[in-house]
DNA sequence: AGAACATTTGAACAAATATTCAAATGACAA
DNA sequence: TTGTCATTTGAATATTTGTTCAAATGTTCT
């Protein structure tokens, strides 16, 4: 897996730095979760959905209309968001209303927003 | 593109809500940028790299050693991070040192960290 | 010049993913 | 029940993406 690392050992690698950073490394499971959260938001459609739902509760049709996309596409993405517990759903007759389950996520959006603005 | 939306118009769609949310919608370019940032961080390898570099400057070999991955794989990911301006590089002889270009990103990491912890 | 080494790059491949289409639920009304 | 509508789901497809391998840079030393 690590092809030419042996030749690197003596000259190039800063062992102290490697040891320091390795010691402070978060464990793999934690990092996987972090990357997971970023990945969910790493799609324009899903960011839009989350942004919309941060304003108010909406049904699938509403979202499809706002995003100008097919209902099926929206529903698929809502399922992803639901699996990750970002979004909650509530049935009222035939209509299913979606809202943010995890309002903490909005902070991430805002932070990212600031970042883009500060560019 | 929007298959069954016509039938939805009268009964299911809440026109007021749609109009409100549509009005408050960020423009597409902005959302694309936001999703772009999240996408870059939506990979375990890259989160690890950014996390390492938030501690101290490191060369490619160091990173490969810390992450236990091939130098080529690391280099490819560093290029992605470089293209997105998250990371800066500095050459010293044969060795190329990488460091965070955009320290603002660390806030995003921290916010995400909090989120995972608060689970 | 040549050798040795750190890094980059491009092609290739496998795995993940977003959207579309068609069919299946689930709810309500006639 | 039958029909209609909102939503979900599964299969299929096209695209994106992470890693590997081999070859190419760029640097230093002799």
Extents of the domains making up chain B: 5-117
B73 touches chain A (CB under 8 A): no
CA dihedral A20, A24, A29, A35 (to 10 degrees): -90
Work out the average pLDDT over B33-60.
98
From the CA of B63, how many Å to the C1' of C1?
34
Residue B101 has pLDDT above 90, yes or no: yes
The rounded distance, in Å, linking the Cα atoms of A25 and B40 is 19
pLDDT tens for B74-85 read 999 999 999 999
Kindly state the percentage of chain A with pLDDT values over 70.
92
In the sheet with B87-92, reading across from the earlier edge strand, the strands are B58-59, B95-100, B87-92
Which residues in chain A are contacts of B112 at CB distance < 8 A?
Answer: 34, 37-38, 108
Say what the pLDDT of residue B68 is.
96
Nucleotides of chain C in contact with protein CB (under 7 A) are 5-11, 17-23, 26-28
Nucleotides of chain D in contact with protein CB (under 7 A) are 5-11, 17-23, 26-28
Which residues, other chains included, contact A116 with Cβ-Cβ below 8 Å and sequence gap of 6+? Answer: B30, B33, B34, B37
CB contact under 8 A, A25 and B104: no
Write the CATH number of the domain with boundaries B5-117.
1.10.10.10
Residue B5 has pLDDT above 50, yes or no: no
Q: Which residues of chain A have pLDDT under 50?
A: 1-5
Residue B1 confidence class, pLDDT cut points 50, 70, 90: very low
The rounded distance, in Å, linking the Cα atoms of A99 and B118 is 20
Q: How many CB atoms lie within 10 A of CB A37?
A: 24
């Amino acid at each position: 897996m690590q092809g030419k690392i042996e030749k690197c050992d003596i000259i190039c690698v800063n062992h102290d730095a490697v040891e320091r950073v390795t010691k402070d490394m978060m464990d793999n499971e934690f990092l996987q979760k972090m990357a997971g959260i970023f990945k969910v938001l790493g799609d324009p459609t899903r960011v839009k959905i989350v942004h919309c739902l941060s304003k108010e509760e909406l049904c699938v049709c509403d979202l499809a209309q706002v995003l100008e996309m097919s209902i099926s596409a929206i529903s698929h993405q809502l399922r992803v968001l639901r699996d990750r517990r970002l979004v909650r759903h509530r049935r009222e007759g035939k209509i299913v209303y979606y809202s943010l389950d995890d309002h903490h996520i909005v902070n991430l959006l805002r932070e990212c927003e600031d970042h883009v603005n500060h560019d």
